[in-house]
Amino acid sequence: MTRPLVRPARKNPILRTRLPTLPPGLRSRVALGLTAAAARGRFELQVCRDCATVQYPPREACCACLSRRLDWRIVDDGGELVSETTLRHSHELFFRERMPWRLGLVKLDCGPLAVAHLHGDCAPPPSRVRVRLHLDRAGQAALVALPDKDTLHMADDRQLREMTCDPKFRKVLVTDAKTPLGQALVEAVVAAGADLVWAGHAEPWKKPPGFERLASLAEVSLVPLDLTNSRAVTVLAGEIGGRVDILINTADYHRNFGIAARDGVETARAEMDINYFGLLRLAQEFAPAMRARGADGQSSAVAWVNVLSIFALSNFPPHGTYSASKAAALSLAQCLRAELAPSGVRVINVFPGPIDDDWNQTLPPPKIAPARLAADIIAALRSGAEDVYPGDIAQDWLERWRDNPKALERELAALPHQ
Amino acid sequence: MAMNEPVLSRLVAGLAAGLIRIVDLTQTLSPDFPQIVLPPEMGQAWPFRIEEASRYDARGPGWYWNNFSCSEHTGTHFDAPIHWISGRHLPDNSTDTIPVRKFVAPACVIDCSRDAAADADFLLTVGHVKTWERRHGRVPPGSWVLMRTDWSKRTDPVAYQNIDETGQHTPGPDSEAVRFLVEERQVLGFGSEAIGTDAGQGFHLKPPYPCHYYMHGSGRFGLQCLTNLDLLPPVGAIIIAAPLKIKEGSGSPLRVLALVAEPATKAGARAASKPKSRKRRAPRTKRR
């Protein structure tokens, strides 16, 4: 049984903060198919279209019939732990620093035999396990074998925590805590065991319903933060930047206009100023300290969450300028991901469908409730994924976009404009 | 100083001798200063924002400078008649066409600080203006009427904005007072320490935002977010308030200065009395 995590002791200030090291990160192009699946939290392996063989590790051709017609498909994640090994020595710096490390050989029900990182609660072989694809600290896919059934404090497993971004005992900044999503997230992060939550709020003279309640939570500190104000971002980063383990950027400016429905560029500029430049300002001020703290003990800097929109993938014309700002933010988030990669800090991009808030009032359901979205973001932090598409609309659009982006563009253009 | 000295020489000498004090009526342009709040679906006034272009660094090794952005109506600012729909067809109604002689004018300061402290929604009435006139004389044509509320002493932006579920609560004039000042006293404009010349609840007056409606509808101006009005005498100060020359500008942030004659010492007694007589005469000779 996993021992529950205890609140880490305060940092000894005479010791050097360790620099982040990463597990081996090079992959062949075909092996990046695993990473693509892990990024979405899916257990996909190559399946031969000709002989139906499931294979692992990924290869250019089928290991059974040499066919090159291989599809990435979700496969059965059950398996039998055949043997286990405890690693006590490695030339890889990342593993050297984390010895001992348990590995196991798993015979997957769908066919292949694979080496997987072994959760501490897996019973000795032979035993049943579930296998997951997680992104590791290098941002690449790794197989993780979990016990057949959930166990108590399972998320606190030392090896698993190296591959997740669990908020437990971590310090979290929610950049805009005033919106319905921001409020729900602050509460969800507190419920997830965060040590401290900084709740950012702009324009303090505007008090939306419910916001006062947040200040009464013991773990919550209200901090002034307006992403349009470079100096304010710099000041806050100077004050707390070196302590933020998880940054969740909820700041969002959303109006419902295409091009023709609104005169001038002011609304679109306001959207860009928060959704794109706001992210840039945050990244310039907060990312450097997070990059330096990727290995800062049990509660190191681990994750940067961007709440984007499914509209970032393909323009939703009734909210056309908003879609464009979110597409710009997505592109910048990819840059941020590349720049944070050497530190092991994960950039998680969240692409919700329409949120059930004021700015989507006239959109028909289904719309994702702020509390549901907050729960999905917490789940993403506890998982090994980096691209999350919460809600039915997001899932539907994503599948249509992956299948045929041009078709989705035409379908969205044909929707009645408001 | 001899009376026959050229008038500007006397001004310079008065400044040099400390007989004339310059009071800054301007709030600092800062990203932290609040901007006017409108319903979120409407077009918004930009707050003051500033971005470094370089600071003796790789972006410019030998110099420091910034780019800033703001609305025409950010911080201490001037409202031109074209700002309001009622003043849209008037001649010379924008910041680039207003005759520059109107940018230097005397001021009457009506102290409402006690009333505003007691009631954030305090409205200045004709009665208040007439009471003030009984003590300080008739409001001269062509002068600014500045409503002193000490609202600028609310340095916490939350207290300064004073917004609740029913909107903003800040003092201002009522409709009749504005009409009286415009029609009976021919004032140059109205100035306020709060974020607008109209009261926070001015939308609910008749007509909505009467100070904007009547002042700008008859070619008069507004000054808002003023500070240091408590350093001005009720009469006698000269206001220098020149907006930026923005083409078709509806207003502009600006530096507002007041020239104030020091209270009478023996040497300065005459200097102190001068602005009073000049104030009375100046609007007539200057304006028409």
**pLDDT tens digits for range B207-228:** 999 999 999 999 999 999 999 9
Residues in chain A within 8 Å Cβ distance of B67: none
Known catalytic residue: B216?
Answer: no
Is residue A129 located within the same domain as residue A175?
no
Instruction: Report the gap between the CA of B167 and the closest CA in chain A (Å).
Output: 10
For residue A147, list its beta bridge partners.
A129
A266 and B44 within 8 Å at the Cβ level: the answer is yes
CATH number at residue B255: 3.50.30.50
Portion of chain B with pLDDT greater than 70, in percent? 90
Per-residue pLDDT at A176: 98
Beta-ladder partners of B238: B106, B259
Which structure tokens are listed for B206? 């008749």
Choose among B41, B51, B160: nearest Cβ to A230.
B51
Say if the Cβ atoms of A232 and B31 lie within 8 Å.
Answer: yes
Cα(B36)–Cα(B287) distance, rounded to whole angstroms?
Answer: 33
Residues A59 and A82 in one domain: yes
Which residue among A203, A229, A264 sits closest to B49, beta carbon to beta carbon?
Answer: A229
User: Are the beta carbons of A270 and B44 separated by less than 8 Å?
Assistant: yes
Helices (H), B79-121: 113-118
Q: At what angle do helices A266-275 and A277-292 cross, to 10 degrees?
A: 10
Answer whether residue B268 shows pLDDT above 80: no
B157 to chain A: which residues are within 8 Å by CB? Answer: 204-205
Sheet of strand A387-388: strand arrangement: A220-224, A196-201, A171-174, A246-249, A303-307, A346-350, A387-388
Contacts of A267 in chain B (CB under 8 A): 43
- Contact call for A206 and B44, based on CB within 8 A: no
Query: Stretch B234-239: mean pLDDT, rounded?
Result: 98
Same domain, A302 and A210: yes
In a domain? residue B13 = no
Select from A206, A207, A229 the Cβ nearest to the Cβ of B31: A229
Q: For A241-369, where are the alpha helices, taking DSSP H only?
A: 266-275, 277-292, 320-340
Mean pLDDT score, B175-179 = 98
A124 touches chain B (CB under 8 A): no
CATH at A361: 3.40.50.720
A279 and A388 housed in the same domain? yes
Greatest CA separation found in chain A?
A: 69
Res B278: pLDDT: 41
Q: Are A224 and A123 within one domain?
A: no
Tell me if B68 is assigned to some domain: yes
- Which pTM was predicted? 0.92
Count of structural domains within chain A: 2
Choose the closest CB to A206 out of B32, B37, B162: B37
Mark the ranges of chain A whose per-residue pLDDT is less than 50: 418
> A96 and A47 in one domain?
yes
A362 vs B: CB within 8 A: no
- Among candidate residues B225, B155, B176, the one with its CA nearest the CA of residue B197: B225
Token pair belonging to A108? 């997957």
- Give the pLDDT mean for B140-152: 98
B276 has a pLDDT exceeding 60: no
Can you tell me the distance from the alpha carbon of B242 to that of B221, in angstroms, rounded to the nearest whole number?
A: 11
- In a domain, residue A66? The reply is yes
DSSP state of A2: P
Within-domain flag for A13? no
Nearest residue, CB atoms, A205 vs list B31, B49, B158: B158
Asked if the structure places residue B272 within a domain, the reply is yes
Question: A228–B47: do the CB atoms touch at under 8 Å?
Answer: yes
Dist CA B69 CA A8 (whole Å): 45
pLDDT confidence of residue B264: 62
Q: Is residue A19 part of a domain?
A: no
Query: Is A228 in contact with B44 (Cβ distance < 8 A)?
Result: no
Mean pLDDT computed over B151-169: 96
- A340 within domain boundaries: yes
Q: Give the pLDDT confidence of B6-44 residue by residue, as tens digits.
A: 999 999 999 999 999 999 999 999 999 999 999 999 999
Phi, psi for residue B60 in degrees, rounded to 5:
175, 95
Q: Per the residue annotation, which of B77, B83, B212, B216 is the catalytic one?
A: B83
Domain assignment of residue B119, given as a range: 20-287
B10 within some domain: no
Q: Do B160 and A205 touch (CB under 8 A)?
A: yes
Looking at residue B273, what is its pLDDT? 47
Mean pLDDT of chain B: 92
| Residue B2 covered by a domain | no
Å between A350 CA and nearest CA of chain B:
25
Instruction: Tell me what pLDDT residue B2 has.
Output: 55
Q: Where are the alpha helices (DSSP H) in A276-369?
A: 277-292, 320-340
Q: Is B52 within 8 Å of A230 when comparing Cβ atoms?
A: yes
Among A102, A137, A158, identify where a domain stops: A158
Integer-rounded Cα Rg, in Å, for chain A is 22
Instruction: Specify if B126 maps to a domain.
Output: yes
Domain residues for the domain of A365 are 171-413
Question: A255 to chain B: which residues are within 8 Å by CB?
Answer: 41
User: Does the distance separating the beta carbons of B31 and A203 come in below 8 Å?
Assistant: no
Q: Does A284 touch chain B (CB under 8 A)?
A: no
A201 and A117 within one domain: no
Nearest chain A CA: its distance from B281 CA (Å): 45
Residue A206 inside a domain? The answer is: yes
Nearest to A228 among B43, B49, B162 (CB): B49
Nearest residue on chain B to A225, alpha-carbon basis: B32
Give a yes or no: residue A353 inside a domain. Answer: yes
- Evaluate whether residue A264 is within a structural domain: yes
- Note the pLDDT of residue A168: 95
Q: Cβ contacts (< 8 Å) between A204 and chain B: which residues?
A: 157-158
Cβ <8 Å between B163 and A206: yes
Pairing assessment for the beta strands A141-147 and A220-224 based on DSSP bridges? unpaired
Q: How high is the pLDDT of residue A297?
A: 84
Of A107, A128, A158, at which residue does a domain stop? A158
Residues A231 and A120 in one domain: no
pLDDT, residue A199, reads 97
Domain boundary among A126, A158, A190: A158
Q: Is residue B7 part of a domain?
A: no
Q: State the pLDDT at residue A8.
A: 87
Number of domains in chain B: 1
